[in-house]
Amino acid sequence: MSVFHPDLRSARFIPPIPARMPVVRLMRRTPKPKPAPHDVRIEELDVPGAEGAPAVRLRIYRPTALDAADAAPAPAMLWIHGGGFLLGSPAQDEASSIAFARALGMVVVAVRYRLAPEYPSPAAVEDAYAALTWLFENAARLGVDDERIAVGGASAGGGLAASLVLYAHDRGEIRPAFQLLVYPMLDDRTVTRRDHDTRNVRLWSPAQNRIGWTSYLGREPGSPDVSPYAAAARRQDLTGLPAAWIGVGTLDLFHDEDVEYARRLREAGVPCEFHVVDGAFHGFDALYRGARVSREFHAEQARALRAALSR
């Protein structure tokens, strides 16, 4: 019997992706977005970055129904794309951003942050914080309720979302209402593990994890004194953070670190819903977007957001 979920059985034939920077640079080509649907307006703009840093580009998805004069303030989410800190853009998550906007009547603000190794930590989280600050400051203009703003992301974006929540908590200027962490990349120390059975890991391998963390940290993963603004799992005190949803598959390289982070959030008194997909690997929902297991995974995220951000 296959260890893979029945909907993902053919994933056993997926070949490994070489973990080399020339391959990463080839994969940085941004997919061309499709035309905006009739019921969601898509806008791109640049907003001020951190002091001394360049402007940050945002891609905003806003349901046209919010343009009505009598429309009530809507919830919103700052979305952070994945890519191992090395590649990616908001365009790769266009379908899910549109789906969130439609299903929840929410504004989704996707941030294009600076990538490693050219821009190591804390560049990415500073860009994300600049985007989140702009979203809070412009909530009224966007028709957004600033008490219902979530932060979300997938993979490295999920790790950045978790670190961003810590960063915002410590600065005390703005407070997200919720964190949606989709198979988040939280702990550089996973690179140092030698007891990990990774035979059925797909799409994101231990070798790729090493190059991603090394590039992002600018030093060897597992080193002392790594900032929690780079690797959220390094944070000792998780009290006072907004409620969370974490979802991951049992065949994901990040499964164990995500289990541990969810446990620690709960122990710190932070409500955290943990959703596990048996036989699912990293990024399964992007590669098998039409599969039933992927649709159910996205429906769980929408349900969690609706429950957290409803009035």
Q: What's the pLDDT score for residue 250? A: 95
pLDDT of residue 21: 64
Q: Long-range contacts for 113-117 (Cβ within 8 Å, ≥24 apart)?
A: 113/56, 113/80, 113/160, 114/53, 114/54, 115/28, 115/83, 115/85, 115/86, 115/87, 115/88, 116/85, 116/86, 116/212, 116/215, 116/216, 116/218, 117/21, 117/86, 117/215, 117/216, 117/218
Confidence of residue 20 (pLDDT cuts 50, 70, 90): low
Is the pLDDT assigned to residue 26 strictly greater than 70? no
User: Does 252 qualify as catalytic in the annotation?
Assistant: yes
Would you state the pLDDT for residue 272? 98
Of 96, 121, 155, 294, which residue is the catalytic one?
155
Averaged pLDDT, 233-256: 97
> Would you place residue 77 in the very low, low, confident or very high pLDDT band (cuts 50, 70, 90)?
very high
**Is 155 a catalytic site residue?**
yes
Work out whether the CA dihedral 275, 264, 146, 37 comes out positive or negative. negative
pLDDT of residue 1: 41
Mean pLDDT of all residues in 144-167: 98
- Per annotation, catalytic residue among 187, 252, 258, 285: 252
Q: How far apart are CA 91 and CA 256, in angstroms?
A: 29
Q: Residue 161 — very low, low, confident or very high, per pLDDT cuts 50/70/90? A: very high
Lowest mean pLDDT among 36-50, 175-189, 196-210, 270-284: 196-210
Confidence of residue 200 (pLDDT cuts 50, 70, 90): confident
pLDDT of residue 14: 83
pLDDT above 90 as % of the chain: 83
This prediction's pTM = 0.94
Q: Is the pLDDT of residue 72 over 70?
A: yes
Give me the pLDDT at residue 34, please. 76
Q: What local confidence, expressed as pLDDT, does residue 237 receive?
A: 97
- Whole-number Å distance between alpha carbons of 180 and 106: 14
Active site residue 188: no
Query: What per-residue confidence (pLDDT) applies to 116?
Result: 96
Annotated catalytic residue: which of 282, 285, 294, 298?
282
